Amino acid sequence: MVGMSERQELNELVSQLDDAQVSRVRAFAETLLHANRQNDTVWSYDFAEKFSEAKVSAQRDRAGMEVKVGDATCDGVTKRALWEHPPLAGAAIVSYAVPIPRQLRDLKLYFSAGIRDGAQLPNDRFVAFRVVVNGWKLWSVVKNTRAWDEYIVAMPELGSDIARIEFQTDGLGDHRWNWAVWGEPKLIADL
């Protein structure tokens, strides 16, 4: 890549990625773009920062569940995160009542999903991650890798409403080593 500009080198590297990897790069780039915008043109809601306002519950029994906010490391990368280790059976649920201003445009949920370093989760076991908005499952993934996977989820029209947004994790029958974390979860929209 001799004689190429930094932008050309980056384009060359991106052209070698598969579709899933390109999607992760896009999510990261969009996060950077939003971070660079002026505060008076962007609205955001930081779920980790507002954790004290969240309701923590379990689909069945809370036994074995651990939910808190703190730094989490996945594949050597540390982020501020919502820790949500699922209970012995069923899902852990962290629910927020988020007031959504009327004038928002292009509302999106930005976050990473990961399993913390040190978890000894076997290759044949998985953790389910779900986002539920006003009672409807909007997004979900099942994973067992330690790396952060970055996501951007377009939100439904929620202007001038109180949105109930839930982050759920489920051990799918076996909660051991399911050290599930949501990295830097935020709602971001244009004003």
Cut 0.85: pTM above it: no
Answer whether 142's CB lies under 8 Å from 172's CB: yes
Burial track 64-93 (b if 16+ CB lie within 10 A, e otherwise): bbebebeebbbeeeebebbbbbbbbbbbbb
Give me the CATH number covering residue 136: 2.60.120.1060
Answer whether 92's CB lies under 8 Å from 167's CB: no
32 with 116, same domain?
A: no
97 with 179, same domain?
A: yes
Query: How high is the pLDDT of residue 73?
Result: 96
**64: region left, alpha or beta (phi > 0 left; psi from -120 to 50 alpha):** left
Instruction: Convert the pLDDT of each residue in 141-150 to its tens digit.
Output: 999 888 999 9
Query: Radius of gyration of the chain from Cα atoms?
Result: 18
Q: How many domains does the chain have?
A: 2
Answer whether 143's CB lies under 8 Å from 129's CB: yes
Query: How high is the pLDDT of residue 107?
Result: 94
> Which domain does 19 fall in, by range?
1-36
11 with 50, same domain?
A: no
